[in-house]
């Protein structure tokens, strides 16, 4: 959780500097020892990392100890979906479109690649935030054909996966499934906010 929060913060720092954080991580990976890569993304998901550190936080409070790193990491990681929303707004502004009334397709509902587990998925938070701002939001995920019940997002239960099409104003690539095709995604001519560094540099790709 702490390492992911650090790399997420580095992504936010690097963006106004014109530095590609993904290139930085790959360069750091050329060190032959003592390096483990962590990758930025749209937020944390799963049943472990977003939740388990706070069991320790809760227990530590019983002993009068504040777990500052854990709490700060949680704060940063929970803020990432809002950072992605700001990038969606920037993307749509580039095409002179407001977020309110736009049609957005989230690519990937599962919290990580090639699984069907959507527990604590940041994609669910992205849908909620986008809809609160007036967007119409669908999702596309071959691993999750229909949204089941969840603890915090029960309002989405029953929604079904949609196909990619040019009827959307923006795609948001939130999960890097290996079955996703770069060529197919780009073929629709829809601008893409890419949170996973999945797509090549392209005029219609907006890193986030």
Please identify every residue annotated as catalytic.
48
Question: Which letter, b or e, does each residue of 158-169 get, where b requires 16 or more Cβ atoms within 10 Å of its Cβ?
Answer: ebebeebeeebb
CA distances (Å), 56 to each of 1, 70, 71, 120, 173, in order? 13, 9, 10, 19, 32
Q: Cα separation of 153 and 135, whole Å?
A: 17
Q: Cα separation of 41 and 207, whole Å?
A: 11
Q: Cα separation of 175 and 114, whole Å?
A: 9
Q: How many CA atoms lie within 13 A of 4 on its CB side?
A: 18
Our measurement of the distance from residue 123's CA atom to the centroid of its chain's CA atoms, rounded to an integer in Å, reads 6
The first and second tokens of residue 85, run together, are 């929303």
Q: Cα separation of 162 and 154, whole Å?
A: 19
């Amino acid at each position: 959780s702490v390492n992911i929060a650090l790399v997420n913060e580095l992504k936010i720092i690097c963006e106004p500097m014109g530095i590609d954080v993904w290139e930085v991580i790959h360069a750091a990976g050329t060190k032959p020892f003592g390096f483990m890569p962590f990758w930025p993304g749209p937020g944390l998901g799963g049943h472990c990392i977003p939740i388990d550190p706070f069991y320790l936080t809760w227990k530590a409070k019983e002993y009068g100890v504040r777990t500052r790193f854990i709490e700060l990491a949680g704060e940063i990681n929970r803020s990432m979906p809002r950072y992605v929303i700001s990038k969606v707004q920037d993307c749509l502004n580039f095409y002179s479109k407001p977020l309110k009334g736009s049609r957005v397709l989230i690519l990937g509902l599962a919290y990580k690649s090639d699984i069907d587990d959507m527990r604590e998925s940041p994609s669910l938070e992205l849908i909620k935030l986008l809809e609160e701002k007036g967007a119409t939001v669908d999702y596309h995920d071959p691993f999750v054909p229909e949204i089941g019940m969840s603890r915090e997002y029960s309002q989405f239960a029953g929604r079904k996966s949609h196909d990619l099409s040019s009827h959307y104003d923006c795609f948001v690539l939130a999960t890097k499934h290996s079955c996703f095709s770069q060529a197919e995604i780009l073929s629709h001519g829809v601008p893409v906010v890419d949170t996973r560094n999945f797509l090549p540099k392209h005029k219609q790709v907006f890193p986030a």
